[in-house]
Amino acid sequence: MAAMPRRVALISVHGDPDVEIGKEEAGGQNIYVRRVGEALAEQEGWQVDMFTRRVNPSQPEIVQHTPNCRTIRLTAGPAKFVPRDEIFEYLPQFVRELQTFQRKHGRSHRVIHTNYWLSSWVGMRLRELQPIKQVHTYHSVGAVKFAAMDVIPPAAHMRLDVEKRCLETVDRVVATSPQEQQDLRDLVSSQGEIEIIPCGTDIENFGSVPRLRAREELGIAPETRLVLYVGRFDPRKGIDTLVRAVGRSKLRGVVDLRLMIVGGYHAGESDEKEYLRIKSMVQRMGIEDITTFTGSRTHEELPTYYAAADVCVVPSHYEPFGLVTIEAMASGTPVVGSDVGGLKFTVVPEQTGLLCPPRNAEAFAQAIDRILAHPTWRNELGQAARNRIVSEFSWNGAAAHLSDLYLRLMSEPLAPVEHPLHICHSMPTSWGSVGHF
Ligand code: UDP
C-alpha span between 386 and 405 (Å, rounded): 27
- Among candidates 117, 56, 63, 59, which has minimal Cα distance to 87? 117
DSSP character string of 170-188: SSEEEESSHHHHHHIIIII
Tally of CA atoms within 13 A in the half-sphere of 307 that contains its CB: 21
Residues near 121 by beta carbon (within 8 Å), at least 6 away in sequence: 88, 91, 162, 166, 423
Would you say 379 and 319 are in contact if contact means Cβ atoms under 8 Å apart?
no
Atom 17 (ligand 1) nearest CA: 28
Burial class from Cβ neighbours inside 10 Å (0-12, 13-18, 19+) for residue 90 reads: buried
C-alpha span between 105 and 390 (Å, rounded): 39
Do you know the residue count of the chain?
437
Backbone angles phi, psi at 312, to 5 degrees: -110, 130
- Mutate which of 12, 20, 21 for ligand 1? The one with the most ligand atoms within 8 Å of its CB, which is 21
C-alpha span between 331 and 145 (Å, rounded): 29
Q: How remote is the CA of residue 30 from the centroid of ligand 1, in Å?
A: 9
Residues near 337 by beta carbon (within 8 Å), at least 6 away in sequence: 313, 314, 315, 316, 319, 322, 325, 343, 347, 353, 354, 355, 356
C-alpha span between 339 and 56 (Å, rounded): 38
Among positive and negative, which fits the CA dihedral 386, 387, 388, 393?
positive
Atom 6 (ligand 1) nearest CA: 231
Backbone angles phi, psi at 296, to 5 degrees: -80, 150
Burial class from Cβ neighbours inside 10 Å (0-12, 13-18, 19+) for residue 324 reads: buried
Would you say 378 and 310 are in contact if contact means Cβ atoms under 8 Å apart?
yes
C-alpha span between 233 and 430 (Å, rounded): 30
Backbone angles phi, psi at 136, to 5 degrees: -135, 140
pLDDT tens for 78-112 read 999 998 889 999 999 999 999 999 999 999 999 99
Report residues whose beta carbon is within 6 angstroms of any ligand 1 atom. Answer: 21-22, 27-29, 31, 230-232, 262-264, 296-297, 299, 302, 321-324, 327
- Mutate which of 14, 20, 232, 389 for ligand 1? The one with the most ligand atoms within 8 Å of its CB, which is 232
Atom 10 (ligand 1) nearest CA: 324
Burial 243-267 (b: 16+ CB within 10 A, else e): bbbbbebebbeeeebbbbbbbbbee
Would you say 356 and 363 are in contact if contact means Cβ atoms under 8 Å apart?
yes
DSSP character string of 124-151: HHHHHHSS-EEEEE-SS-HHHHHHT-SS
Would you say 318 and 236 are in contact if contact means Cβ atoms under 8 Å apart?
yes
Long-range contacts of 412-417 (CB under 8 A, 24+ apart): 412/133, 414/131, 414/133, 415/171, 417/127, 417/128, 417/169
Q: Kindly state the DSSP code that residue 357 receives in the 8-state scheme.
A: -
Burial class from Cβ neighbours inside 10 Å (0-12, 13-18, 19+) for residue 385 reads: buried
pLDDT tens for 160-187 read 999 999 999 999 999 999 999 999 999 9
pLDDT in tens, the chain (437 residues): 456 679 999 999 999 999 876 555 567 899 999 999 999 999 778 999 999 999 999 999 999 999 999 999 999 999 999 988 899 999 999 999 999 999 999 999 999 999 999 999 999 999 999 999 999 999 999 998 888 677 777 778 899 999 999 999 999 999 999 999 999 999 999 999 999 999 999 999 999 999 999 999 999 999 999 999 999 999 999 999 999 999 999 999 999 999 999 999 988 888 999 999 999 999 999 999 999 999 999 999 999 999 999 999 999 999 989 999 999 999 999 999 999 999 999 999 999 999 999 999 999 999 999 999 999 999 999 999 999 999 999 999 999 999 999 999 999 988 777 766 444 434 443 333 333 22
- Mutate which of 137, 302, 306, 389 for ligand 1? The one with the most ligand atoms within 8 Å of its CB, which is 302
pTM equals 0.87
Would you say 368 and 245 are in contact if contact means Cβ atoms under 8 Å apart?
yes
Please, what are the domains in the chain? 6-200+395-410 (3.40.50.2000), 211-392 (3.40.50.2000)
Give the three-class secondary structure for 259.
strand
Question: How distant, in Å, are the alpha carbons of 11, 104, 181 from that of 73?
Answer: 10, 14, 31
Residues near 375 by beta carbon (within 8 Å), at least 6 away in sequence: 310
Q: What pLDDT does residue 414 have? A: 87
Q: What pLDDT does residue 428 have? A: 41
Strands 257-262 and 353-356: unpaired
